[in-house]
Amino acid sequence: MHQVLCRQPRNSLLNRLYETIERPYLNSADGLIYNSNTTRQTVEQLIGDRRPSIVAFPAGDRLGYLASADRIESRIQAPGPLKLIFVGNLLPNKGLMPLIRDLAQLPSEVWHLTVVGSRAMDHQYLHKVENMIAKKNLTRQIVLAGSRDGPELKSLLAGSHVFVMPYSHEGFGMAHLEAMGFALPVIGSFSGAVREIVVPGENGFLIEPGDFKTVIACITRLHRDRQRLLRMSVAALQTFHGRPKWKDSMEAIERFLNEISKTSSSTR
């Protein structure tokens, strides 16, 4: 289980429709594999906890990590704006437009934003984003880089200072953890599972839904206090190294499946 659709922050009528589908589907499962404790709690509130389950955390090591401590310090001490990166497809639920609204209130010398994510999934939303950028005269401040992966994404992460997705409700936060592998503090949402990997003030910040002023304050603080940014960057990388890797998670899932398979066989 990655996300529970009927518990997303959206129109309540639509969520009730999703619930009529998800509840019986989940009740039909013999066992459940969750990507986070947050997802597990959400499902258990929906259907109870009567069936076998496991939390197998996704890993952030797909892209590798920033191996040089010297690279972190030199990147942070270089003059210029705070280099922000947003990694998420251009869809309303990822919260790019409210982020742009916040950033527009800051001086241009404070920040630069690179947006990585597909531009082809919602053309209407893409048009709204482009219009907002143009109307607020931010075409030099914001780069819509489109889909990037592998070496291209690694290069963009390695050249950034902070990962920003403060208005996206995540079932886990894969992009957030991958960014931590490149020593990027995370400005994420308190809503969802990102709070399981972000310790506010240590390796990032968590933003309550609708709290627009805090995003501006966090970015301003990190731009002005590069020593704090350095400490938080090192802490973010340490968080990455302390999380399970894909090998660990897959081995845990294999053991779980073997156990419930044996239990199922013995009860026939």
- pLDDT tens, residue by residue, 157-212: 999 999 999 999 999 999 999 999 999 999 999 999 999 999 999 999 999 988 88
Band (261; pLDDT cuts 50, 70, 90): confident
Q: For the whole model, what pTM was predicted?
A: 0.93
Task: Write out 139-184 in H/E/C secondary structure.
Answer: CCCEEEEECCCHHHHHHHHHCCCEEEECCCCECCCHHHHHHHCCCC
- pLDDT tens, residue by residue, 27-44: 999 899 999 999 999 999
Q: Is the pLDDT of residue 248 over 70?
A: yes
Residue 254 CA: distances (Å) to CA of 88, 187, 257:
30, 34, 5
Q: Is the pLDDT of residue 266 over 70?
A: no
Burial of 115 (0-12, 13-18, 19+ CB in 10 A): buried
Q: Which domains does the chain have, with CATH numbers?
A: 5-59+244-266 (no CATH), 69-242 (3.40.50.2000)
Q: Is the pLDDT of residue 76 over 80?
A: yes
**Could you give the 3-state DSSP secondary structure of residue 51?**
coil
Name the region of 187 (left: φ>0; alpha: ψ -120 to 50; beta: rest).
Answer: beta
Q: Is the pLDDT of residue 68 over 90?
A: no
Q: Is the pLDDT of residue 267 over 80?
A: no
